[in-house]
Amino acid sequence: MVRVRIAPSPTGAIHIGLARSALYNFLFARQNNGKFILRIEDTDPSRSTRESVEAILEGLKWLSLYWDEGPYFQSQRFPIYKEYAEILLKEGRAYYCYCSQERLKAEKEKALKEKRSWQYDRHCLYLSKKEKEKLEREGVPKVIRFLVPSERNIVFEDIIHGRIEKSGRDVEDFILLRADGTPTYNFACVVDDALMEITHVIRAVEHISNTFKQILLYEALNFKIPYFAHLPLILGKDGKKLSKRHGAVSIMEYKKMGILPEALVNYLALLGWSPGGDLEIFSLEEAIKLFKLEKVKKSNAIFDFQKLEWMNSEYMKRSTNERLLMGVKPFLIERNLSLDKEDERRLLAIIEINKERSRNLNELADNIAIYLKEEITYDEEGVKKFLDEKGKENLKELLKVYEDLTDFNKETTEKVLRELANNLNKKPAEFIHPLRLALTGKLVGPPIFDVVNVMGKELVIKRIKKALTLTLDNYSQNN
């Protein structure tokens, strides 16, 4: 059975790179009827926080990347790592190192001055029994280092990158357990992946250098070596490492922006892989069927926030009004808009005429707010252009007609406006532009008679009367 995992460190919220890795692992597991496992690599207590754990869980759930097993916590598995470290010690595949940080730092600085690469010189491997006993009596802190077989090459076939090879001479004797008993990343990772029967390790390309060390550990511990697939980097449009200047990097920041999780999942899937053809918009279920791990590209992926916004707008257009209402409610509450008094059918109608003009739920909330707030903000240029003496005169004429209208709906309000324009030998636009500004405060928006219909007679009359009291002077002072 295929078994994959995502193994974040709880030192912050889930970010774009981790989310993409989680998604690819999830897709591969579901496609192969396998298991998707969540492991929290919290071996560093000084950096790991419960808040970060909760943020990771919340982010994965928001993206609908539900795990089958876990979360497992490495901090609860220290005795296991110690047991396997002792096995390696007994078999002569690891040794105690008593070197102080000061000695190691001095050796590194010396190598730097001599312009040569530095590796641990195995000083402690060659200590005599007497020297070791003395160090033990003195209580000198010690770590456990792995004895790297330097006479051989380390080779593995990466599903994405193909054959990758490195000489054992280029791998130093790395630490397995620190002086305080905590395991290093490579050691804990191998023990856990083996004991959790992980079949495929799908992770970021930065981990290729770790893979050589891990393969040596798999072999030394007689563990089955999994398949490896290293995903390309995600860069900003400027070709540099993704950072805050390229857009939010925490997944939950995108939620705050009003990005739909299904749109973000769709976009993440395309950061390094393509289903082929012109297909860009697809559901998570469709991605499970289409995804091919071996088709993931070697080249770096480029994160384009504008493309994500476009994709999100497409999802909003295609979403049901009920789905968008559920998503936009928190944004309306943030704006102190009371929803209890609002008829849900009316809100759905407001969403219907505004969703195609909203790139995200935040924008949708702003557009909905126009229909719910007592006061609205008017575009200053619009006030100059359409609420001048001529514009207000047209609004006054329209107000009389609308006040007398008993059957107030989209069709009747359009009909009487056009009849009024015809009777006064004017263009309908001379009434429509001032009306739009009076009702929404904006120069553009949904079809105006859709707006009139959704607002209803009472609010339309109220907004027109308010607009008639505006002058550029008093508007500028109030804003």
Residue-wise pLDDT tens digits, 194-223: 999 999 999 999 999 999 999 999 999 999
Active-site hit among 113, 115, 129, 244: 244
Name every residue whose Cβ is closer than 8 Å to that of residue 363 and which is 6 or more positions away in sequence.
Answer: 258, 357
- CATH class for domain 380-478? mainly alpha
Q: What is the mean pLDDT of the chain?
A: 93
Asked if the model's pLDDT at residue 228 lies above 90, the reply is: yes
**For 274-300, what is each residue's pLDDT tens digit?**
998 889 999 999 999 999 999 999 999
Asked if the model's pLDDT at residue 141 lies above 60, the reply is: yes
What's CA 183's distance to the chain center, in Å? 29
Q: DSSP readout, 103-148?
A: HHHHHHHHHHHTT-------GGGG--HHHHHHHHHTT---EEEE--
pLDDT of residue 298: 94
Give the pair of three-digit tokens for residue 174.
Answer: 């790395």
As annotated, the residues of the chain forming the CATH 1.10.8 domain(s) are: 320-372
Is the whole model's pTM more than 0.95, yes or no? no
Q: How far is CA 321 from CA 267, 338, 342, 364, 448, in A?
A: 22, 19, 15, 11, 20
**How far is 105 from 425, CA to CA, in rounded Å?**
89
> Is residue 248 very low, low, confident or very high in pLDDT (cuts 50, 70, 90)?
low
**For 434-458, what is each residue's pLDDT tens digit?**
999 999 999 999 999 999 999 999 9
**For 70-102, what is each residue's pLDDT tens digit?**
999 999 999 999 999 999 999 999 999 999 999
**For 348-393, what is each residue's pLDDT tens digit?**
999 999 999 999 999 999 999 999 988 899 998 989 999 999 999 9
Which residues are paired to 156 by β-bridges?
164
Asked if the model's pLDDT at residue 243 lies above 80, the reply is: no
Give the pair of three-digit tokens for residue 99.
Answer: 């070197």
CATH fold for domain 320-372: Helicase, Ruva Protein; domain 3 (1.10.8)
Asked if the model's pLDDT at residue 479 lies above 60, the reply is: no
Q: What percent of the chain has pLDDT over 70?
A: 97
pLDDT of residue 48: 87
The DSSP 8-state label assigned to residue 92 in this structure reads T
* Side chain identity, residue 174: F
Asked if the model's pLDDT at residue 477 lies above 60, the reply is: no
Q: Active-site residue 317, yes or no?
A: no
Listed residue (454, 427, 424, 428) closest to 439, CA to CA: 454
State the average pLDDT over residues 16-30: 97
Which residues are paired to 97 by β-bridges?
143
pLDDT of residue 175: 97
CATH architecture of 1-72+232-318: 3-Layer(aba) Sandwich (3.40)
3-class SS at 38? Answer: strand
**For 303-344, what is each residue's pLDDT tens digit?**
999 999 999 999 999 999 999 999 999 999 999 887 776 688
As annotated, the residues of the chain forming the CATH 3.40.50.620 domain(s) are: 1-72+232-318
Decide if 193 contacts 156 (C-beta within 8 A): no
As annotated, the residues of the chain forming the CATH 1.10.10.350 domain(s) are: 380-478
CATH fold for domain 80-177: Glutamyl-tRNA Synthetase; domain 3 (3.90.800)
Number of neighbouring beta carbons within 10 Å of residue 295: 13
